[in-house]
């Protein structure tokens, strides 16, 4: 248990559905991250939030929409996804978003898009 | 483009064998270097990291890594592996102090035979 929880753990959705992934951290951190882990590809950073402000968007398609209402919660809203978006989505947090900080990861949401 | 290479996809060792997992990165400026590990069924967690000082870094469970700037490498080592070291190991690099923007390698799966 790392202090970062993610729900749901598994999600199956059609291409026309709208769903949201939720991440919550209980570590008192101020930076939160979304990563995508696809089969046979490196873990890819999607978004970074620092003190609730988005500081990084790694050219992620607009069908993925992040939301960070406070430093403890991070959402990823999903809309009209494609089958190639099927992957494990990991959330992480760190103290203040500094380069040398350890990131603490959640268990991930396994997403399947049909 | 900035990238991280892990040379071995899957390494199989017997208990008590020595381990070295390779990691090379593509950029020559300021870097912060990390090894993360994912044990079966568990979260991704930090094994060790380097951001300044002694280039030989010691981590948890007897692991160590050496930062060799001239070779752009940060190889992970352990003199004698145990069955419980069976896991997937990920090298990650933060380039130029860009906050928490980590670039991961594809990972190396280590299987230790009892």
The pLDDT, as a whole number, for residue B90 is 97
User: Which range is least confidently modeled, A23-32, A73-82, B91-100?
Assistant: B91-100
Task: Give mean pLDDT, residues A25-45.
Answer: 93
Per-residue DSSP letter, A105: E
- A residues 55..114 contacting B (CB < 8 A): 55-56, 90, 92, 94, 97-107
Q: A19 and A111 in contact (C-beta within 8 Å)?
A: no
Tokens of B79: 């003199």
Picking from A106, A67, A66, A83, the residue whose alpha carbon sits closest to that of residue A15 is A83
Decide if B59 touches A, using CB distance below 8 A.
no
Q: Which residue has the higher pLDDT, B18 or B94?
A: B18
- Give per-residue pLDDT as tens, B37-87: 999 989 999 999 998 899 999 999 999 999 999 999 999 999 999 999 999
- Summarised one tens digit per residue, pLDDT across range A71-89 is 999 999 999 999 999 999 9
Q: Residue A19's pLDDT band (boundaries 50, 70, 90)?
A: very high
Q: What is the rounded CA–CA span in Å between residue B106 and residue A114?
A: 26
CB B92 within 8 A of CB B62: no
pLDDT of residue A56: 78
Comparing CB atoms, the residue among B44, B51, B99 nearest residue A50 is B99
pLDDT reading at A98 higher than 90: no
Residue A99: the pLDDT is 81
The total number of residues written for chain A in this structure: 114
* pLDDT of res. A1: 65
| pLDDT beyond 80 at B97 | no
């Amino acid at each position: 248990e790392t202090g970062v929880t993610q729900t749901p753990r598994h999600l199956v959705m059609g291409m026309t559905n709208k769903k949201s992934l939720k991440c919550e951290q209980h570590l008192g951190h101020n930076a939160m991250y979304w990563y995508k882990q696809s089969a046979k590809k490196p873990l890819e950073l999607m978004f970074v939030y620092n003190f609730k402000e988005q500081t990084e968007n790694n050219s992620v398609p607009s069908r993925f929409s992040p939301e960070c209402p406070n430093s403890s919660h991070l959402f990823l809203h999903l809309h009209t996804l494609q089958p190639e978006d099927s992957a494990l989505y990991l959330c992480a947090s760190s103290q203040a978003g500094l380069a040398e900080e350890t990131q603490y990861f959640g268990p991930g949401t396994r997403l399947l898009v049909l | 483009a900035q990238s991280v290479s892990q040379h071995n996809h899957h390494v199989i060792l017997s208990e008590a064998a020595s381990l070295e997992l390779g990691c090379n990165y593509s950029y020559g400026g300021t870097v912060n270097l990390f090894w993360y590990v994912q044990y079966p069924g568990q979260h991704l967690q930090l094994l060790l990291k380097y951001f300044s000082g002694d280039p030989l870094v010691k981590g948890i469970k007897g692991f160590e890594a050496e930062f060799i700037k001239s070779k752009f490498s940060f190889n992970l080592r352990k003199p004698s592996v145990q069955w419980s070291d069976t896991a997937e190991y990920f090298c990650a690099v933060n380039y130029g102090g860009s906050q928490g923007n980590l670039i991961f390698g594809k990972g190396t799966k280590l299987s230790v035979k009892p």
